[in-house]
Structure 1
Amino acid sequence: MGEDPLEYLAFQANWLRSRGINPSTARVLTARGDSMEETIRDGDILLVDTSIDRIKDNAIYVVVYGEMVLVKRVHGRLNGSLQILSDNPRYPPEEVSPGEVDLLNIAGRVMWFGRSI
């Protein structure tokens, strides 16, 4: 998410704040793949608040793991592990052990998405 943007989208700061989004840390990404369908589809525009790095169950996050950038639901477990979930049932949940949690970077929370009709 640190790459220079190729395109820009304008959002009013008041609109962002009314949705709990920090305007100075908002970023726009394009979703790729089908793992989050039916919620998020390939090509959808994602508005991400990069100031949010704490997990709230059932929210959707941008997760960086090594070279992979994923858009997934993340659930915290009582034992300190994380469950990474896709909305598409074709993709099984993945468990991240407590010892590997530090290898994940929660790069932000998806706060809004849009698509062409």
Structure 2
Amino acid sequence: MENKVKKQSDQEKTRALTSTGVINFKNRLTIVLEGLSGNAFAKKVGMSEAVIRDYLCGKTYPSLNRLATIAQKCDVPIEWLVTGKGECRLLPESQGKGSIDIPFHHLNETNSAFSVLETIPFDITLIKHHGCEVDNLVAVWAKGDSMEPTISNHDILIINKAYAKPIDGFLYAVQYDEHISIKRIQNQGANLVLISDNPKYPAMVVDRKEQDDFKIIGHVVYLLKDLN
């Protein structure tokens, strides 16, 4: 029972970190370094190199006073540093515009078909809301009816490839046995259960150790419905 409670608590923490954008703090901190080594940056902000190293690998997150120190020393907005929201002088020029171009991929039955077709413009403020890094995003067309009524054929999904750690109930683009599809994921010990929203499609159980046959491509962060 104690382990189950701890697991639920960890999942709730991960959900909170993901929904607020805090989970990508390490990526923004890497930008703030501006090429400095961990040791040089630690001296700049008055912290130990070990602390900065833990932040950069996502092992720990800074307290509010340390966040304020980093933001002040590096001349960046604290809100952007924490959540990715707002403007920052260190962002690439493309991210300073009202929209960005996300690579558009065709979601087909085989991995070989997961190739770039074109790009789709997307509102930059929506990306910042999720704390996503532009380079980690791809757009795909959904195929088939396995996720009806949530996702229909030819709907457009925005996938964050940087976040592939499965959280129960979330939508992911997955590759399994050379097939690529969108599924909900449920953790069951050594297995992952791939769930379709359409009840006529049975759930699939995957062994976590089957790395050659199964891969989580990324987390679905936006769904654009085709209303025609």
Bucket of the pairwise TM-score, normalised by the shorter protein: 0.7 to 0.9
Q: Counterpart of 1:49?
A: 160
Aligned identity (percent) is: 30
Which has the larger share of strand? 1
How big is the alpha-carbon RMSD for the aligned residues of Structure 1 and Structure 2? 1.9
Greater relative contact order (CA < 8 Å, ≥ 6 in sequence): 1
2:89 is the alignment partner of 1:89: no
Aligned residues: 116
Q: Counterpart of 1:32?
A: 143
Unaligned runs of 5+ in 2: 1-104, 106-111
**Structure 2 residue matching 1:38: 3-state secondary structure:** coil
Q: Structure 2 length as normaliser, TM-score?
A: 0.47
Q: Counterpart of 1:114?
A: 224
Which has the larger share of helix? 2
Task: Quote the offset at 1:61 in angstroms.
Answer: 0.5
Q: Per the alignment, do residues 24 and 13 of structure 1 end up closer, same or farther by CA in structure 2, a change over 3 Å counting?
A: farther
The whole-number CA distance in structure 2 between the counterparts of 1:66 and 1:92 is 16
Q: 8 Å contact 1:81–1:101 — kept in the other structure?
A: no
The whole-number CA distance in structure 2 between the counterparts of 1:114 and 1:60 is 14
The whole-number CA distance in structure 2 between the counterparts of 1:43 and 1:23 is 23
Task: Quote the offset at 1:15 in angstroms.
Answer: 2.1
| Match runs of 1:67-78 below 5 Å | 67-78=178-189
Q: 8 Å contact 2:178–2:213 — kept in the other structure?
A: no
Name the aligned partner's letter for residue 74 of structure 1.
Answer: I
Structure with the greater alpha carbon radius of gyration: 2
Unaligned runs of 5+ in 1: none
